[in-house]
Amino acid sequence: MLTLFSPGDEVQAQHPFKLREGSIYVFSYLGEMTIHRLIKFDEDKLIFKGDFSLTAEGISFDAIFGKVDSPFEEVFLFLSRFYQKDRARIVRGAAKIIMLALSKLI
């Protein structure tokens, strides 16, 4: 499965930060450091989901370490919407091509 970040990747996280739906955050979930996109929030709970994941996690604000800086953030948000509409192979292929192209630019 294609993801924006892989185990062992180094990321930079901003703290303090503002909550923004669609942004990527690093947080503690079930005792592990997790990096997922914020899809919904209110005063009590924040809902996070990996771009290509079928499940979501609900956590409290104090579990967040920071907001991840990523040049690919908007690209993967766009691509993840197609993935959820059962276009997985096309999206994964397109995402790999985009990642390759962007990685050569940075």
- Tell me how far apart the alpha carbons of residues 68 and 63 are, in angstroms, rounded to a whole number: 14
8 Å CB contact between 75 and 98: yes
In 3D space, the residue among 60, 36, 40, 61 whose CA is nearest the CA of residue 49 turns out to be 36
8 Å CB contact between 50 and 39: no
Indicate yes or no: pTM above 0.85. Answer: no
Top CATH class, 13-68: mainly beta
8 Å CB contact between 29 and 44: no
Residue-wise pLDDT tens digits, 37-46: 898 998 888 9
**Structural domain boundaries in the chain:** 13-68, 73-105
Residue-wise pLDDT tens digits, 48-72: 998 778 889 999 999 999 998 766 6
